[in-house]
Structure 1
Amino acid sequence: MTSNPIGDPGHGHSPAAWTAVLIMLIGITAGTVGLYIGQHVVVYISAAIVVLGPIVGFIVSKAGYGVNGPKFQPKGH
């Protein structure tokens, strides 16, 4: 098995992907806490934050920090 075959997109190991995932994790965590304590407003705000995660990830990717972006520096494993 080769370490990086041609056409391999990098599986999302980029600042854009990590930013999107982190925002969604924060939203899910806050929504879980809000649901547990019975604050439905917090749940709805958290749902909006989860939806915002991929949008921010897309914007950061287009800013050059995606897998194939000019500002992304891949790290060797």
Structure 2
Amino acid sequence: MAGSNHGHTPAAWTGVIIAFVGFCVASVFIVMAQPVGFWVGIGLTLAGAVVGGLMRRAGLGQPEHVHPVHQVAENA
């Protein structure tokens, strides 16, 4: 994966950071036995995927034609 620059985009970093914060929030609140806080953390985790996807569609992700899978498909 290092040769394809996979995941080294603003969309990927932002999505992962938001999801990580959501996971941490959910983890803290599950230990504290607070279901509302847990679900807020789960919501943040899902929001990370949504934000990353929206940023990719806005042009901040890796273009599809750069990915090796697409290059192999074009050469076949």
Band of TM-score, shorter chain: 0.7 to 0.9
Query: Number of residues paired by the alignment?
Result: 63
2:35 pairs with 1:40: yes
Q: Which runs of 5+ in 2 are unaligned?
A: 65-76
2:63 pairs with 1:68: yes
Distance 1:55 1:68 in 2: 18
Runs ≥4 in structure 1, deviation > 3 angstroms?
none
Amino acid at match of 2:21: I
Greater fraction of residues in helix = 2
Distance 2:6 2:61 in 1: 11
Q: Which runs of 5+ in 1 are unaligned?
A: 70-77
Counting aligned pairs with the same residue, the percent is 32
When normalised by structure 2's length, the TM-score is 0.74
Distance 1:30 1:16 in 2: 21
Aligned to 1:52: 47
The structure 2 residue matched to 1:27, chosen from 3, 16, 22, is 22
Residue 43 of structure 1 deviates from its aligned partner by 0.4
